[in-house]
Structure 1
């Protein structure tokens, strides 16, 4: 096993979905040598135009210094690492470091860490928080767990993905950090939908209410960022309801294991399940506001006013 090149590691990238594509592009744009595998090759082809090498199997990335994986769920991570043609299955070589940025269970993370160790590959769990527009604004955040020494060595590379890279501890604890984050995402968004519909039914426009809220101490980058969707009902997906349900389920499972009551999270999970049952599957999960309005006896219409989302790309 060769040591990872300190200054300019050769990078492998598995997963060119909405998030993975933008993150790989970010590394390509600063001059890294990046080879990419994506199950649907056509989705990765624009990365080739930016200088990436495309490969046919994850195993074709086994000779890379660092391989990132960012896939949809635990079974996908298992498939691209230890499944047929996986990055850890090449008979002759294995990556120096495997960094997984998917949102997966702690159990799956521990399994892949163990399988990596058998091949002499270091493993960092590095789930990310954000979406493509957040990445473009340079505001992505990353929670990382695993060996502190490996983290320190790769921190400069990870820092190129966004503004905040936090080492949170050994083992799989980064998974819990990300799951807790996404549980909060669901609870906050449901609460935001409730109070916005309350204001609207009482005669206050959503634009005016959210402008007030965003300028108050309770306003945040997140409430500002979500305001255009709630005001203008543009539900172009950044994160879908089924993905939110998966993370709420992971959070409630962790809560059972750790004996932590989470009544607000449990209630939100039921509301998300109801929204999915009502057909809100492909749209952004901000459609929670439509279900809240329906349950409140009102129908929302787009207000068609410009709303600043607070995310202007960093230059």
Structure 2
């Protein structure tokens, strides 16, 4: 059983979401070892008592539960399987939890590589954005061996109350693709609705107060439409990362012989925004497609 007395948590990736997530674990009383490519992003955690590691190798040598949330699948592969990687340099019975949105295929590969070294790999991507990370209200969807999931579930519940085991390795990533497919089309509707309200001469805030509690209600409408109205396009979730997710989902859908026209349209619109220099904006910046 993993306890605060026998567990050291390693955390790799202290970006928009990772910083808050790592902070919750630290405040819960777990010893925390952090690594990120830009040390400055981890200074707040270090000031709170986290230990800095100079590489994934060093994290692997010091921690027995390691959480990663990085940018792209190639980053994940390097962090786990590179010369300085966690699996390459890790110890037996270490629990490896990748919370990056990545490919189901890579999740399966990491699971197999970890198992060969008597380690436990879990794919556990999240939904909830920067707000969910800050407020410890993330939804966490996990794939891997059930016994390994059960062992780390209490730790994951520090990050969010909705932690659900989805099935074998890769199942967490497939579930996240379902999540992103819903969001892709929803974001088009949210933006169109707010632009329509403006063009109709309505007060968008009053419109939002009305429709967000009705059948149109959604997390995106309640949390991101206000940012659109206020001209706040700072990233809770980067457009460039959302495009990466949609590309994964489209590729997986194609493998299954499934058409996804709504997803394809969203990918096209966000691609145009990225080409116009908005790749580092938040996903709510799709509002600019109509406004500008």
When the two structures are superposed, what TM-score results if normalisation uses the length of structure 2?
Answer: 0.94
**Are the equivalent residues in 2 in contact too, given 1:62–1:94 (CA < 8 A)?**
no
What's the counterpart of residue 80 of structure 1?
79
Match of 1:311 in 2: none
Alignment of 1:149-228 (within 5 A): 149-228=147-226
State whether residues 66 and 95 of structure 1, in contact with CA within 8 Å, keep that contact through their aligned partners in structure 2.
no
Q: 1:77 to 1:179 in 2, by over 3 A?
A: same
SS across alignment from 1:210 = helix
Q: 1: CA distance between counterparts of 2:148 and 2:8?
A: 16
Q: Residue 234 of structure 1 aligns with which residue? A: 232
Q: 1:7 to 1:28 in 2, by over 3 A?
A: closer
CA distance in 2, matches of 1:18, 1:232: 20
CA apart distance, 1:214:
1.2
Q: Tell me, what secondary structure is at the counterpart of 1:194?
A: helix
Answer yes or no: is 1:120 the counterpart of 2:103. Answer: no
Q: Deviations over 1:144-198 (max 9, x none)?
A: 1111111112211111111210111112111011122122212101111112222
For the residues of structure 1 that align with 2:87 and 2:169, how far apart are their CA atoms? 19
Is the deviation greater in 196-205 or in 121-130?
196-205
TM-score, normalised via structure 1 length? 0.87
Runs (5+) with no aligned partner, structure 1 = 295-315
Which of 1 and 2 has greater Rg? 1
The change in CA–CA distance for 1:186 and 1:250 in structure 2 (over 3 A counts) is same
Q: 1:227 to 1:195 in 2, by over 3 A?
A: closer
Residue 70 in 1 paired to residue 69 in 2? yes
1:96–1:121 contact (8 Å) kept in structure 2: yes
Look up the SS of the partner of 1:107 in the other structure. Answer: helix
> 8 Å contact 1:182–1:247 — kept in the other structure?
yes
Q: Tell me how far 1:28 sits from its aligned partner.
A: 0.2
Name which of 98, 101, 108 aligns with 2:96.
98
State whether residues 81 and 89 of structure 1, in contact with CA within 8 Å, keep that contact through their aligned partners in structure 2: yes
Q: What is the 5 A alignment of 1:257-268?
A: 257-268=255-266
In the alignment, the residues of structure 1 paired with residue 137 and residue 220 of structure 2 have an alpha-carbon distance, to the nearest angstrom, of 12
**How does 1:27-38 map onto structure 2 within 5 Å?**
27-38=25-36
Structure 1 distance, partners of 2:189, 2:266, is 9
For structure 1, which segment, 176-185 or 215-224, has the greater mean C-alpha deviation from structure 2 after superposition? 215-224
Structure 1 residue 72: deviation in Å?
0.5
Provide the rounded CA distance (Å) in 1 between the counterparts of 2:14 and 2:162: 22
Query: Contact (CA 8 Å) 1:61, 1:95: kept in 2 or not?
Result: no
Aligned to 2:2: 5
Matched with 1:256 is: 254
Q: Spell out the pairing of 1:258-297 with structure 2 (5 A cutoff).
A: 258-294=256-292
For residues 184-235 of structure 1, the C-alpha deviation after alignment (integer angstroms, 9 at most, x for no partner) is 2121011111122223212222222212211323223331111221211111
Aligned to 1:147: 145
How many angstroms apart in 2 are the aligned matches of 1:191 and 1:232?
18
Q: Distance in 1 between matches of 2:138 and 2:97?
A: 16
Q: Distance in 2 between matches of 1:21 and 1:95?
A: 26
* Alpha-carbon distance between aligned partners in 2 of 1:276 and 1:166, rounded to the nearest angstrom: 33
Unmatched tracts of structure 2, length 5 or more: none
Alpha-carbon separation, structure 2, partners of 1:145 and 1:14:
19
- Which deviates more from structure 2 when the two are superposed, residues 69-78 or residues 220-229? 220-229
For the 8 Å contact 1:241–1:280, the answer to whether it is kept is yes
Q: Deviations over 1:245-271 (max 9, x none)?
A: 111111111110111211111111111
